Amino acid sequence: MKLIRLAKSYMKQAEFRLRDAIRAYRHKNYPYTLRLSQEVVELSLKASLRLVGIEYPKIHDVSDILIRFRERFPEWFRSEVDYLAETSRKLALKRELSFCGGEDFLLTPEDLVSREDAHDGLERARRTFKICKKLLDEYIQKASGTQ
């Protein structure tokens, strides 16, 4: 139950960030949209890893761990692992640029994060959240004994 409680907390934080990412996108703050989208993905995936009892390294991109332990997940989730790993890797790489820009070249986050980048990040965050929320709901249902 403690793993479910922790996963629920991560997903709650991810859900709030997703709402904020949508709001940032509507206000054309594309770097912030991308940054929040990355956090949604990270929290959602870490919640899913926790649910199946996997201790992950304290890094932003958990794609390697997700792939290594894919067999611990239900079949339907396993079919999404490649997409989830690609999403984790892709958004983690853009995380710093969306926050600080390219300081060495005096480029702002706005110089480096386009509307298309933000849109892609937001759609990936939405899909990742939905997949991970479904997994959490299944675990809650199993724990409560209703199926």
CATH code of the domain in which 101 resides: 1.20.120.330
pTM for the predicted model, two decimal places: 0.93
The structural domain count of the chain equals: 1
Domain that holds residue 114: 2-144
* Each residue's pLDDT tens digit, 85-134: 999 999 998 887 776 777 677 777 887 889 999 999 999 999 999 999 99
Distance in angstroms (rounded) separating the CA atoms of residues 147 and 135:
13
